[in-house]
Structure 1
Amino acid sequence: MSEVTGNARKSITIGDLPNCILHTILEFVPIQDAAKTSVLSKKWMHIWSTLPHIVLDHLFFHYVSKSGASASSIISKILLQHTGVIMGLHLISSTCKLAQSDVDQCIIFVLEHGIQKLTLDMANDENYLLPDKIFTCATLTHLKLSRCFFELLDGTQFPNLISLKLEHSKIAGHRGLEINLYLPMLETLELRFCVDVDSVYLVCPKLDNMSIVSSYTVTFRCFNRNPIFARIKHLCLDGSSLKNLGSLSVPDMLDVSLNLQSLRICDIKISIKRISCALCLLRNSPNLVELDIDEVVKVNETICYADELLDYLSEAVNEVSKALRMIRTVRLRKFKGTSTEMYLIKVLLAHSPKLERMIIEQYKRSNVTYSYQHLNELLSYCRASPNAEIKYT
């Protein structure tokens, strides 16, 4: 690399770059390789030990296992040698396990060094119990936890947390009582395979985005009782969570009006229960304009229920029309062209009077010849909206 000034030419090496750029480069390199750059020059000697984000992922733990060393001892050395501000710590491994005491030591260390982002996703057999200090960390803004256990007292809060993602985790209150968890700055909440989350009363005045995947304790009762569901604008559900919403009953109308602008449904196996739960959400969301269906799965197993589904939808015309009255954009991902998908599209087109765009993204393994046949059939379907366009990609 060179810089030309007049007739002079000055050579610029990578080491001449600002530290912030060098940090960005080294964050894409396994930390054990980043440490080796310390031998390059005096400037490089301390670059790796001042990285603002420490990423200890599967590459690091694979390196540790091959070396025969103790993962916890190496992690301790890395943290002790670190001389700069730690903005992020990410412990990620699907094979390596760390003891509760080792995790506590890591978390407490970074909490005392101004951490903003923390990821804990280790292959432990039992859930980690989070240290109490984590709940009062004023600098923590992004938290992603897997296989963890929250033992909360009423009034617990994360004062500045913006994003919270929990997977295979459990939230429990004190002595089984319903408690308040205050998240005053939270904007994004993701729950994947979590339990007991319905017993926690979340206070999140800024929450906009919520994702629920296979968290079976979330029902329509939660929508009626917890005001966060009346506040969120963007909701993502998988097929199993969608079905479970109506595990007690599927109401015609909820006690509250939802503020949803978009609803995304992932991995949906078409059934009457799932369709009725989706229609309930749509009916109770007067501001919802975008519906995103990310893959209709196991469709071959649902063909035998096609007549039953057809009868249900034909009898529920009013409910369907109410549910789709405001939809402007529909996106169907991983489209395979099955009869179930085609019928679903026909219903959406026929009952969406304000529809502007239906975007159908073909499954990458689909047959091209059949794709043209599907497109021709789709274009022949009746549309409630004269402005509806079909984009087939």
Structure 2
Amino acid sequence: MAYSTDFDDDLISNLPDELLSSIITLLPAKEAVATTVLSRRWSHLWTSLSRLDFDHLIDPFESIEHVVSSQQGNVTVFRICHSPEDWPRLAKLINHLKVDKAIEELGLTWIDDGYDRCLDSSILPASFFRCETLRALELSKYKLRADNLTIAPAFQGCVNLTTLNLNSIRLTSEILFRITSNCKLLENLSICSCRGLDYLKFFSDKLKFLKLRNLQANDVDICGKGITGLVFHNVSCSSRTIFIHCPNLKEFRLYCQNLTYSLVLQRCFGLLRSITEHGGEAFLSLPDLRLLCTKLDLNNMEDAILLSLIFRSSVHLQEIDIINRARSNSRNVQLPYDESMFWEKTELFDSITHHLRVVWIRGFAGREREMRLASHLIQNATMLEKIVIQCNNNNCSGHGALTMRILQLLPKASLNAAVILKPPSKFITEVGDDFDYWVSTRQ
């Protein structure tokens, strides 16, 4: 059978200009411009890029200016890594994007040898943030000073800003509070590895997702009916100075080295009274929670009771990811029956019988209380799709590993549920995820 081959160019080159421009827009700007050598058909496409991504360590600034000035349409996304000496020219370039190119997403990363030499906020012109078309802004490795009042008021111009990412920024709590207060439509906020913060306070019903990572603060106060996603990762703060009131939270990831997890979780799930900064008491709960990631001591009866109360209060819980870590302090808990019967005696909650689909337990050692929890979920979670149990790097003995195999033989409430056993993460990295082979090395 003969096929027609009377094309002037290849099939891709015969696509419409709009589609070809959309394809090369996905490339770094330097590679997008380089497509001009492919054929005459491609020679002008690089002048219609809606997204420009530069790295000045690779791209000469003169080339960057030429590419930006050559764009015929709007540039909705602009990202650049730049060095200190570029800033005056870059500021003019940004103003051009703001005024003439309807910029919607802007990402700036300051590249310098030392963190303490990062950009002083006085260099940033106030007009930099006054852009009605801007919807997403990411700043990395800059310095914003509280004694310079040009920055926070400037954010008042971001009337349509919905996403703000601050990475490795030096700023004070006061200026962060001003910025978040001025961005009235802010929905997604990420603050990572920032320094100079005394407290973290967020009060907004518009905010939907909040990520706090690698931070130090004396107090944390998060209040927002609209917040559905919260990441609280490696925030150095006393457990007793954390107040979280997000009643509509659906995803909660809590991982911090120095926190008393049980105390924070008890407050969030309405098991302890929280005192607000105004002296009033707030009773909290998370009835709409779908995903919980945290650390608990599954061999501690106090944490076992806390986990059962979480299952009770979060009736729609679908996924839970637990890192099993021993607690340094705990109280004696008296039960009217033998502790080994705790999960058997616990009421079957709707979250387990109707909603729970995915369970991860990391740091498993094969001890009795851990085994009884896993058995309880396998035998009662009717909607369960998988339960993944990963062994502890150091504390899982050969006997404990062999005991874990019993879990795969238990009758399952969900016929489609997979019971997956995994070796420690270190073994997976160095050797592989063959559980049986790992067990053979422990004997």
2:375 counterpart of 1:349: yes
- Distance in structure 1 (CA, Å) of the matches to 2:386 and 2:132: 47
1:211-267 deviation line (CA, Å, top 9, x unaligned): 2112244747755xx5x4222122111153763462798784552332243232257
**TM-score of the superposed pair, with normalisation by structure 2:** 0.60
Distance change >3 Å, CA 249–CA 390, structure 1 → 2: closer
2:251 counterpart of 1:234: yes
Q: Any residues of structure 2 matched to 1:230-269 within 5 Å, and which?
A: 230-238=247-255, 240=257, 243-244=260-261, 246=263, 252-253=271-272, 255-265=283-293
2:392 counterpart of 1:377: no
1:120 to partner: Cα distance: 1.6
Give the 3-state SS of the residue equivalent to 1:194 in structure 2. Answer: strand
Is the contact between residue 218 and residue 244 of structure 1 (CA under 8 Å) also seen in structure 2? no
2:224 counterpart of 1:209: no
The more displaced of 257-266 and 92-101 is 92-101
Distance change >3 Å, CA 309–CA 245, structure 1 → 2: closer
Q: Percent identity among equivalent residues?
A: 12
Is the contact between residue 259 and residue 288 of structure 1 (CA under 8 Å) also seen in structure 2? yes
1:249-305 deviation line (CA, Å, top 9, x unaligned): 878455233224323225767674993695286166242422421655xx7xx5x99
1:129-149 deviation line (CA, Å, top 9, x unaligned): 653322552211111112343
- Residue 317 of structure 2 is matched in structure 1 by 289
- Distance in structure 1 (CA, Å) of the matches to 2:408 and 2:22: 52
Q: Tell me which amino acid in the other structure corresponds to 1:51.
A: V
The alignment covers a number of residue pairs equal to 357
Q: Tell me which amino acid in the other structure corresponds to 1:243.
A: T
The more displaced of 155-164 and 38-47 is 38-47
Q: Any residues of structure 2 matched to 1:141-290 within 5 Å, and which?
A: 141-148=162-169, 149=171, 150-151=173-174, 152=177, 156-169=181-194, 181-182=203-204, 184-196=205-217, 198=219, 200=221, 202=223, 204-217=224-237, 219=239, 222=242, 228-238=245-255, 240=257, 243-244=260-261, 246=263, 252-253=271-272, 255-265=283-293, 272=300, 275=303, 279=307, 282=310, 285-290=313-318
- Residue 76 of structure 2 is matched in structure 1 by 52
Higher relative contact order (CA 8 A, sep 6+): 1
Q: Any residues of structure 2 matched to 1:108-123 within 5 Å, and which?
A: 108-109=127-128, 111-112=130-131, 114-122=133-141
- Distance in structure 1 (CA, Å) of the matches to 2:30 and 2:18: 19
- Distance in structure 2 (CA, Å) of the matches to 1:380 and 1:326: 24
1:86 to partner: Cα distance: 1.2
**TM-score of the superposed pair, with normalisation by structure 1:** 0.66
1:194 to partner: Cα distance: 3.4
Structure 1 alignment gaps of length 5 or more: none
Query: What is the CA RMSD across the aligned residues, in angstroms?
Result: 5.2
- Distance in structure 2 (CA, Å) of the matches to 1:293 and 1:248: 14
2:119 counterpart of 1:99: yes
Q: Any residues of structure 2 matched to 1:357-376 within 5 Å, and which?
A: 357=384, 359-361=386-388, 376=405
1:80-135 deviation line (CA, Å, top 9, x unaligned): 55442211112246866641237734x8435426111111222x5x6666533225
- Residue 437 of structure 2 is matched in structure 1 by none
Is the contact between residue 129 and residue 155 of structure 2 (CA under 8 Å) also seen in structure 1? no
Distance change >3 Å, CA 390–CA 172, structure 1 → 2: same
Give the 3-state SS of the residue equivalent to 1:79 in structure 2. Answer: helix
Give the 3-state SS of the residue equivalent to 1:237 in structure 2. Answer: strand
- Residue 321 of structure 1 is matched in structure 2 by 346
Give the 3-state SS of the residue equivalent to 1:156 in structure 2. Answer: helix
1:77 to partner: Cα distance: 5.6
Q: Tell me which amino acid in the other structure corresponds to 1:181.
A: F
Structure 2 alignment gaps of length 5 or more: 50-66, 69-73, 274-282, 394-398, 421-443
Give the 3-state SS of the residue equivalent to 2:285 in structure 1. Answer: coil
Distance change >3 Å, CA 90–CA 277, structure 1 → 2: farther
